Structure 1
Amino acid sequence: MKIGIPRALLYYRYHVLWNTFFQELGIETVISPHTNKTLMDAGSHYAIDENCLSSKLFFGHVSALEGKCDAVFVPRIANYGKDGVMCSRFEGLYDMAVNTFRDHDIDFVTCNVDIQQKCPEEQAYVMLGVSLGASEAKAREAYQKSYQAWQAAQKAHIAEEEARLHDDRIKILVVGHSYNLYDEYIGKPILKGIEQLDAVPICSDAVDLKQAQEDSLNICKSVPWIMSRELLGSIAKYHNDVDGIILLTAFPCGPDSMINEMIIRRIKDRPILNLLLDSQDGNAGIETRLESFIDIIRFRKEARL
């Protein structure tokens, strides 16, 4: 059996967990290719206009898996408890995918993570494993091994980003969801652009997730979305060690639009650049803004010497 995994949205957060889980069950995984203009155009075709760019890319990646696997894995993640609400797109993603591709030769499998409805993550993955033919014991073992692998990968990533703080060059904290930061078509060019300007990008996902949620309370105590609180926590962790902050957002993300405005109003001791990613072609405008932003930081640093 082959399970397809779209290289979009939560893939960039959980790819180690997902790949290890299916591998432990003896199931081959097929990952959709890196994002390109063809995938973006396909996503725009299948998604409704109101979807954010990240969601549109997801539908493009699902379409790229048609005919290449037996089923596509799309988890439904509602919440991690009353204080761990996810954006509604992740709760409805499976249903949207099934309905969008109902006339296509694509089957879907899912797991339902909803602690408020007494379905924690481990139970959700065990049920998924059983539905794919594994015993409950085997599925539980597969989840536990995959979770440990994911934790190890996260710790290694944090250590790698923290090591970059020792670089003497200008350091920029890039605040954004991992599916925006690491997408080859929309986010990676930003990170590469910062490096080409002789600065060091520090990615906001390099945080202990629980600690980041706690640290976010130092900035705002009323943010409902768990992933938004993690972004705030990354600022609380890194902002004293960086020279500037870039807010990277996919248009028209509702939670990010609110959170970014709050960040701009409350963080006054670091320059902030708000970059909005959309489906328009060309990076010239973004490159110019990046260059100007880093030049301003460089001039400010030189003026202090």
Structure 2
Amino acid sequence: MRSLIEKGSEGMARPQTLTVGMPRALLYHRYAVLWQTYFDALGIATVVSEETNREIAEGGIAAATDEMCLSLKVYLGHVAALIGKCDRIFIPRIVDFGIRRVMCTTFEGLPDIAANIFRDRHIDILSCNISVQGGIDEKAGMVQMGRELGYSKKEAKRAYKRALVAQRAADEAAAAAAEHLYQSRGLKIAVGAHAYVMDDDYYGRPVLDYLSEMGVTAIPAYAVDRREARKVTKRLSPTMKWEVSREIAGSLAMHLDDVDGIILMSVYPCALDSMVNDMLVRKFRDSGVPMMHLTMDAQSGTAGLETRLESFIDILSMRRTGKAVKA
């Protein structure tokens, strides 16, 4: 696609028409509102890849190396799906938000991984760098990206401010909705999983749909007051340093008395989740709350998962019935 060039308010050249593609995977599920609002505020058109389906998943698996986790493979499938549909593909580099607030190393190398995997297809990557320990926080990274696109510093700051307000409102609404679910009746299961696993339409969503069909309320642990959850995790494990894992672990600890069971959902092979989930099983053992671990892999069949879920739900139902009889 060709773009006409116009001058920004500070005389910088910027494309008059630019379409940015956003892969609907990984941190898109966490920052969709922030990113979409930011580009909207700058007047930049966006296109988001469609929900994960078999074609996207298999395309990513084919492009990736065996050692990559399933979520990264799916992400690469979404990147491939955007090629030819936009001018640039937005792939941020997010390293950390401070000491003991680091992200998975995948997110640090994501732009480089995508550029290398698709080197023969010459994709144009739009990125921003975020590393508080490296001297550039989220605001600075987003503003710098806006400047590189040809917008003034004032325009980029205004866009980020609007995006941050929208994202915080969305996060608060999600946390409030989750708290409401914790107070609902019937069987309740807290699902400890990254949003990009739990909310993926091809791998995570079928599990949630099945739980719903069984009359179970599945509550996302990631929907929580993040700051409060991180405080709880600091008491649970002072050495845990992964930002999102701290939020999920803290959320689960905060709501042990509000649920009938916990499902830890992860993808293969995620070294980070394997360590964190093992710790959670040990830490929560004395709580009496039944726990189940689901690992999603590249197999598309769900029969085995449904059998395990049905057995787990039966156990929770019998426990609840037993408590009611004793009462």
TM-score (norm 2): 0.92
- The superposition leaves residues 40-70 of structure 1 with CA deviations (integer Å, 9 ceiling, x where unpaired) of 1111111111110000000000000010000
Q: CA deviation at 1:165?
A: 1.9
Contact 1:67 1:105 in 2 (8 A): no
The correspondence of residues 1-305 of structure 1 with structure 2, limited to 5 A, is 1-268=18-285, 269-305=288-324
Q: Alignment partner of 1:58: what SS?
A: helix
Q: Give 5+ residue unaligned stretches, structure 2.
A: 1-17
Displacement of 1:246 in angstroms is 0.1
The structural deviation recorded for 1:206 is 1.0
Which structure has the greater CA radius of gyration? 2
Q: Which residue of 1 aligns with 2:14?
A: none
Count how many residue pairs are aligned between Structure 1 and Structure 2. 305
Percent identity over the alignment is 43
> 1:169 Cα deviation (Å)?
0.6
Q: Retained in 2: the 8 A contact 1:53–1:279?
A: yes
Unpaired segments of 5 or more residues in structure 1? none
Tell me the CA shift for residue 183 of structure 1.
0.5
> What is the distance in 1 between the residues matched to 2:323 and 2:244?
36
What does the per-residue CA deviation read over 1:83-132, in whole Å, with 9 as the maximum and x for residues that have no partner? 21111000000111111111114210100001111111100000101111
CA deviation vs aligned residue, 1:154-210 (integer Å, no higher than 9, x gap): 111111111112221100000000000101001111111111111100101111111
**Partner SS for 1:240:** helix
TM-score, normalization by structure 1: 0.98
Q: Distance in 2 between matches of 1:13 and 1:179?
A: 8
Question: Which shifted more, 212-221 or 271-280?
Answer: 212-221
Conserved? CA contact 1:218–1:236, under 8 Å: no
Q: Please, which moves more after superposition, 131-140 or 158-167? A: 158-167
Give me the whole-angstrom Cα distance separating, in 2, the residues matched to 1:113 and 1:165.
34
CA–CA separation in structure 1 for the residues paired with 2:266 and 2:77: 19
**178-187 or 224-233: which moved more?**
224-233
Counterpart CA distance in 2 for 1:41 and 1:160 is: 34
1:218 CA displacement: 2.9
CA–CA distance in 1 between the matches of 2:20 and 2:77?
17
Distance 1:158 1:262 in 2: 24
